[in-house]
Amino acid sequence: MNKSFRGKKVLVYGMGASGQAACKLLHSEGACVSIYDDEMRYSGIFNFVKQPTQFKYDLVVVSPGIKVMGNEIISHFLMTKTPVLSELDLGYLFCKGRMIGVTGTNGKTTTVMLLGDILKAAGLKHYVCGNIGLPLCSIAKDTDRKSITVCEVSNFQLELSNLYHADMACVLNLAPDHLDRHGSFEEYIRVKTKLINKKQTLFLNLDDERVSTLRPSKKNIFFSLRQLNRGIYLKNSAIYYNKTKIIPLSEIPLVGDKNLLNVMAAVGIACRLRVKPKIIRMAIANFTPAGHRLQYLGKTKLGADVVDDSKATNISSTLMALESLQGRKITLLLGGQNKGCEFDEIFNKNIALDGLICFGQAGQEIAACATKYGYNPEVFDTLEGASIHIRETAAEGQMILLSPACASFDEFSSYAVRGERFKEYIFEEHQ
């Protein structure tokens, strides 16, 4: 695609961080930018258009926060053969150097952050961006032929993407998520796998049944908790890359098997970038994980351990958390806003729970499902009510696990805010 935008009339649809970054990039390239957002709070901005379909544009750039399926505005521009571009693709047009894309239902942010720390320790010029919070458009023009861009790529970013090409790509896992946006799991997988092309080096999780079957190229490199002849794997309580020992498990500051797979993915990519094993080992050992991802918070006044896994906004992530903490007496908090998922998958495995607390908008729905499988859930309207109840009842030897399997938007603006409020409620910090 021609990336000369000087004098072009461009509509940017969606005024979140990605849309704002797209506007700045387009302005710097001399484009005549108009903006639109479904939320009218942006209508006071001078270049906001209230009826975008009444105008003609040379290009429409869509932010990842905008739902595509059933969107009449996007449909209008596609029908009138107006080029429609994702923010991801716009940023990619201006990127130089090597591009690494990481996707999956869970673990993307941890993997990308860890890989960024490894590249920093190696002294390599790099950028960590994408769904992690820094839009690709905001760093694209800073890249050069020697830089490495590590991009966390979400299904929302990929939905309209046709140009983005990663030289190295990684698929961590695939499980039902965001079905309310995509309509079906099949469509969700189709969107996720748009990251893959036959020319790239592709890293795949061999332990994930859906991911392991994605084999479009002989360049595939697998990672697994099982021992392999080649790839990234476990052997003698350490992670290996082919025959090279990278790091003992005892030095990894992350909890659970799901995080081991995230570490393996980062190790594989770093090794292909020719980072020395001792540097990889040092960076992993010193890594500080992002919050709200199986984050240990401490003990309540009655001695119960508290773990914040608020980032678990889907069923597969909650199951991974339970598997990672198996053997503990867990009181599980589930609830929030359902994203179109069925909860049977959590309860039909007969996982032993010391207690089950359901809360929020989906609380009654989850409780009804759990009851079918013999659980005795308690239901609360809000996370605060659920947390206070647990705070006053959970005792030493028990573990309180917030791993909601739902979005946060019934009560909170993000999973991070939910996690922070949970900490306040449990430790009475808001009193």
pLDDT digits (tens, 9 = 90+) for 40-50: 888 888 899 99
Contact by Cβ (8 Å): 312, 295: no
Q: What is the pLDDT of residue 256?
A: 80
pLDDT at 224 over 70: yes
Q: What is the pLDDT of residue 366?
A: 98
pLDDT at 218 over 80: no
Q: What is the pLDDT of residue 217?
A: 67
Q: Which of 319, 355, 356, 314 is nearest to 336 (CA)?
A: 314
Q: How high does pLDDT run on average in the chain?
A: 93
Q: What is the pLDDT of residue 179?
A: 66
pLDDT digits (tens, 9 = 90+) for 169-204: 999 999 877 667 777 888 889 999 999 988 899 999
Q: What is the pLDDT of residue 356?
A: 98
How far is 366 from 380, CA to CA, in rounded Å?
A: 11
Contact by Cβ (8 Å): 347, 415: no
Q: At what angle do helices 277-285 and 257-272 cross, to 10 degrees?
A: 150
Q: What is the mean pLDDT of residues 360-365?
A: 97
Which stretch of 54-58, 136-140, 320-324, 403-407 has the lowest confidence by average pLDDT? 320-324
How far is 182 from 368, CA to CA, in rounded Å?
A: 25
The angle subtended at Cα 207 by Cα 202 and Cα 211, nearest 5°, is 45
pLDDT digits (tens, 9 = 90+) for 295-306: 889 999 999 999
Q: What is the mean pLDDT of residues 57-86?
A: 95
Q: What is the mean pLDDT of residues 80-98?
A: 97
Residue with the larger pLDDT of the pair 204 and 217: 204
In the DSSP assignment, the letter for residue 16 is: S
pLDDT at 337 over 50: yes
Q: What is the pLDDT of residue 429?
A: 66
Confidence of residue 431 (pLDDT cuts 50, 70, 90): very low
How far is 36 from 21, CA to CA, in rounded Å?
A: 14
Question: Within a 13 Å sphere around the CA of 296, how many CA atoms are in the beta-carbon half?
Answer: 12
Question: Which residues does residue 344 pair with via DSSP β-bridges, in sequence order?
Answer: none
The single residue listed with the structure tokens 């500080």 is 288
Confidence of residue 343 (pLDDT cuts 50, 70, 90): very high
